[in-house]
Amino acid sequence: MNKIKASVWTLGLALGMMGQASAALFEAGLPAGWTAVGNSGSLGANGVVTLAPSGGTQYGYVSSTNGVNGVALPGVGGSGSGTNGSTLRSAVFSAQAGDDLEFFFNYVTSDGAGYADYAWARLLDSASNQVALLFTARTAPSGSIVPGFSMPTPAATLSPASVTIIAGGPSWSPLGGSSGSCFAAGCGYTGWVQSNYEIAAAGNYVLEFGVTNWSDTAYDSGLAFDGITVGGVVIGQPAQVSEPAMLGLMGLGLVGAAVAGRRRKTA
């Protein structure tokens, strides 16, 4: 392989890795080492939930349909109590201080006023202690449903920052028999929202997604998520080249191509 071909190959490899960085996580189902409680899985575009902006052909989800009792966040939710729901935890991953934890999420609910289900994402340490409640998404008859009423302010920065429900009985297969149903004002979905959280200290962490019914077990809700990266690297894939390294590879490829081109002209 001559130098100009090698440079082009290096550049192509870097570009290919950049394209894979946010798209590969759920392509083959839930990743190895992830722990599910209740109902979770991976799915392609389905009903009101399109593919995430990160570019994958599958996204992960949790749903309260066929969920288990006792997964609601302790002390969170105001009047009433959580009933059945589901959680999904990542395998332990390492992060450095200042790394951005980024992903997209889409909250979907067939429930409405009076029985306000909610979903969430949390950053935990490797001993399962909460480091940050990244966000909550909750049914509301009007106004922003992220974080929703009687819920904590998100620790993550969300884009868009204020999200209202796209109203109507949402068609989405993880809702099971509740798909297409709507109880009172507040049912619908958010569309894809981006979450960004800067990790404060180097360490080992776990990312948790969850959803719970509230005060009853009827009219289910769920959360879809995708494009999860830490410091520009797909979560749980340390062999993936980070974005700064990719840019370095691209630079080397371009410089190599330019040098090779000059040498050919002067030969």
pLDDT tens string 232-255: 999 986 533 334 444 443 443 444
pTM of the model: 0.82
233-234 and 221-230 as β-strands: parallel, antiparallel, unpaired? antiparallel
Q: What is the pLDDT of residue 10?
A: 36
Q: What is the pLDDT of residue 139?
A: 82
What span, in angstroms and rounded, lies between the C-alpha atoms of 246 and 56? 20
Which pLDDT tens digit goes with each residue over 4-57? 333 333 334 333 444 444 557 999 999 999 999 999 999 999 999 999 999 999
User: What band does 141 get if pLDDT is binned at 50, 70 and 90?
Assistant: low
3-state secondary structure 222-261: EEEEEEEEECCEECCCCCCCCHHHHHHHHHHHHHHHHHHH
What span, in angstroms and rounded, lies between the C-alpha atoms of 64 and 108? 11
What span, in angstroms and rounded, lies between the C-alpha atoms of 154 and 101? 14
* Residue 247 backbone dihedrals phi, psi, to 5 degrees: -65, -35
For 167-180, b where at least 16 C-beta lie within 10 A, e where not — what string? eebbbbebbeebbe
* Residue 162 backbone dihedrals phi, psi, to 5 degrees: -120, 125
Q: What is the pLDDT of residue 215?
A: 93
Architecture of domain 27-238: Sandwich (2.60)
